[in-house]
Amino acid sequence: MMRHTLDFGSPLPPGWTELVDQEPYWDRFTDTFGFRPGITEDTWPAITEPTPSITFDLTAPADVPGAWQSRFDAVNAEALRCFLTEFPEDPTFVVLDWQHMAYRFDAAVHAATRDTEWRVPVYPNGDYYIFLRDDLGEGTFGLGADPVRVRRSTAGLACSHLVDVAAR
């Protein structure tokens, strides 16, 4: 299983740097996509989905051992493949993690590092995880409502490049 850094006091994995001034990104993201956080179904979807976009239901069956872990690995690996395939010249993304530190993520460095960790995964696990290009034109949005209570997680790929490459 891919490692997910849970100790936020640990050093950042290679390819991850803290984004000290995250407010401008949150403001632009909220203005562009109408972001409205919430944990009940009446608040979903939490963004106005752009066109084109794809939404995946990531709900894992609770009674299948390893189902969540295998989905976690597959979604993160596929997103990393898409990031590198579509943006080989500059595979850098802004990563927003609702009510936590934001980061700049270099997908190429991350992919080239053996046994590395995801500081923030693409696969949502109870929070909003957003991977965006600087211009907000491409990226992913993950909503992971508490899987114990509502058993719903979704992830979306926004805009044409990532939608096209995910379909390959």
Q: pTM (2 decimals)?
A: 0.82
pLDDT tens for each residue of 8-28: 678 899 999 999 899 999 999
| Structural domain contains residue 6 | no
Question: Structural domain tally of the chain?
Answer: 1
Other beta carbons within 10 Å of 96? 23
Is 4 inside any structural domain? Answer: no
Asked if residue 88 belongs to a domain, the reply is yes
- 3-state SS class at 97: strand
Instruction: For residue 5, tell me if it sits in a domain.
Output: no
Q: What angle do CA 65, 66, 69 make, to 5 degrees?
A: 150
- CA 75 → CA 36, 44, 118, 154, distances in Å? 24, 21, 12, 11
Domain boundaries, position 145: 13-33+43-166
Q: Biggest alpha carbon distance in the chain?
A: 42
Question: Does some domain include residue 161?
Answer: yes
Determine whether 115 is exposed, middle or buried from the number of CB atoms within 10 Å of its CB (0-12, 13-18, 19+).
exposed
What would the pLDDT profile of 37-74 be if each residue is shown by its tens digit?
877 777 767 777 777 777 777 777 778 888 888 888 88
Asked if the structure places residue 144 within a domain, the reply is yes
